[in-house]
Each structure stands twice: as structure tokens, then as C-alpha cells.
Amino acid sequence: MFVIVGTKRKRERLGHAADFCPICREFRAMRITRQSQVPHLYYVPLGRGSPLLHERECLGCGVVTAAKEVVYEGYADEAPADIVDLAAATNPDIMETWRDRLALEERLEAGTLTPEERLSLIAEPIAALEFTFRQTAAAEQVPTMAGIGIIGAVILTPTAVFALTSGPGARGVAAILLGLAVGAVFVAIYGFWSGGVRAACARLMPILLRALRPLRPAREELERVFAELRLKGLTVAKRIRAEEVWSALEADLARGGT
Ligand SMILES: [Zn+2]
């Protein structure tokens, strides 16, 4: 007998909990969604499955971060207007958990951070964007360039084949057309790849600038942080350049951002 067993992914909204947002740099209400891998027998789920990760969507900035495990006391269906109420109900140890991090925020205001502490604070929001960056880049593939490439390949390929079969005299033309067709395919692939990445950069840059603004990082600091995050394999640090962030921050300051 043939038995159909396997696993499927399940997404479950757990509710709202209070947590620290590295982008907003303060406590915020987060919408928590659990992704699990659930075994099934003939497509009937067997049990609750094993959690793969928990998505935390900040209601302040909209950025989603992912964590393997979360330790909330409970979840609220609706986020109360007062974050203190939500924290009391869902994350009562929040002040204790984040005490050292909050102390850094105070020392940032007082201007007494060490250079290493500054680097870790600069790295924090960039690393926090990794999950959202990957999701946005995959979802927002702007296919303009890809579309041009596909149309090019579709027109050029049969034309090249036609030229190829039209006799020896047309071989040169056929070779050129085939070359162009191959080029068009590469343009299409590059368009799909870069379209999503550029869209993700454009969407997330203002969020990153807002998070970094209180730190006013120097160009060298950004370069060091991006190099370290690249070594750790973070896509966001590979696709966004330190130089790009620094120029955007300078432009932002020139416009009077505080
Ligand atoms: Zn936030």
C-alpha cells in the first residue's frame, strides 16, 4: 500500500507581545507569527509540529525580525494603546531583560559610549533588517529590466534560428543574433536579481536612516560595521553599501534631520 506522509509549513498568528525594537530603539508592540513544520499523513496534520521560527513584526516601524524561540508570558489579541499594559501582560521581565541595552541608549544621549559600543549600536539596526530585506528582495522583483530581456530573447532566438537555416550567407548574421539572444537572457536574469534587491534597498533605506540618525555614524564606522556583517554572511550588508548609507545620512542631515 502507498502511504502519503510528509511535512508542510504552517503559519500561525499568536497575537501581540511587547518587546524591544532595534529599529525604533524602544519598546514596541509586536505581532508574533509562528512558522512550524507539521508532519502529515494523507495531508491530515499530525500534532502541532515543531516551530521553525517566530516572526516579530514591529507595529511601530513594520520591520519583521525572526527568532528561533520567544519567551513571552502570553499574547494579546489586540495591542493595547499603552505599551506598559502590554508589557505587564506579555513580557513582565522586559526592563530586566533589556537593562544593559537601555543603559547604552542613555549613554548615547550623554555622549559617553566607547568606540566598541558605538560600533555594536550601529550594527544592531542593520543586522535587524536582514529578515525583512530578504523577504522584500524576494517579493518585490521589479521585472522591468527582466521583461525587456525576456522580450529580447523571445524575438531574437527564432530570428537567429531562421537566419541559421537560410543558407551559408546568413551564418554571420545568425551568429550575431544568437549572441544577442544569449545577452538578452543574461539581462533578464540580472533584471530579476537586481530588481528585487534595489526595491528592497529603496524601501528599507529610510527605515535604516531613522534608526541610525541618533548615532550619526562616521563613514569609517559604517565601513567597519558593514565589513564585519559581511563576514558574518548577512545579505543586507552585502547588498547595501556603507558608502550609500553614509551619503544618505549626510543628505538627511543637510535637509535638517535630527
Ligand atoms: Zn520598530
Q: How far is the CA of 58 from the centre of ligand 1 (A)?
A: 5
CA of 147 to the centre of ligand 1 (A): 35
C-alpha to C-alpha distances, 7 to 10, 39, 46, 52, 187, nearest whole angstrom: 10, 4, 9, 12, 37
Give the model's pLDDT for residue 127.
96
Give the other-Cβ count within 10 Å of 137's Cβ: 23
Centre of ligand 1 from the C-alpha of residue 64, in Å: 9
Cα of 30 from ligand 1 centre, angstroms: 8
Give the pLDDT confidence score for residue 235 in this predicted structure. Answer: 92
Local structure of 1: helix, strand or coil: coil
pLDDT at position 193 is 66
Query: How much distance in Å is there from the Cα of 9 to the middle of ligand 1?
Result: 27
Alpha-helical segments (H) within 111-170: 115-128, 130-139, 144-164
Per-residue model confidence as pLDDT tens for the chain (258 residues): 667 778 788 889 999 999 999 999 999 999 999 998 888 887 777 777 777 899 999 999 999 999 988 989 999 999 888 999 999 999 999 999 999 999 999 999 999 999 999 999 999 999 999 999 988 887 765 556 677 777 887 888 888 888 878 777 777 888 888 888 888 777 777 776 666 788 888 889 999 999 999 999 999 999 999 999 999 999 999 999 999 999 999 998 888 755
Centre of ligand 1 to C-alpha 148, Å, is 37
CA of 210 to the centre of ligand 1 (A): 10
Q: Quote the pTM value.
A: 0.75
User: From ligand 1's centre to the CA of 70, what distance in Å?
Assistant: 17
Distance 19 CA to ligand 1 centre (A): 10
* Distance (Å) from CA 1 to ligand 1 centroid: 52
Q: Give me ligand 1 centre to Cα 146, in Å.
A: 33
Give 57 Cα–ligand 1 centroid separation in angstroms.
8
Helix axes 219-231, 242-254, angle to 10 degrees: 150
Contacts of 77 (CB under 8 A, 6+ apart): 15, 16
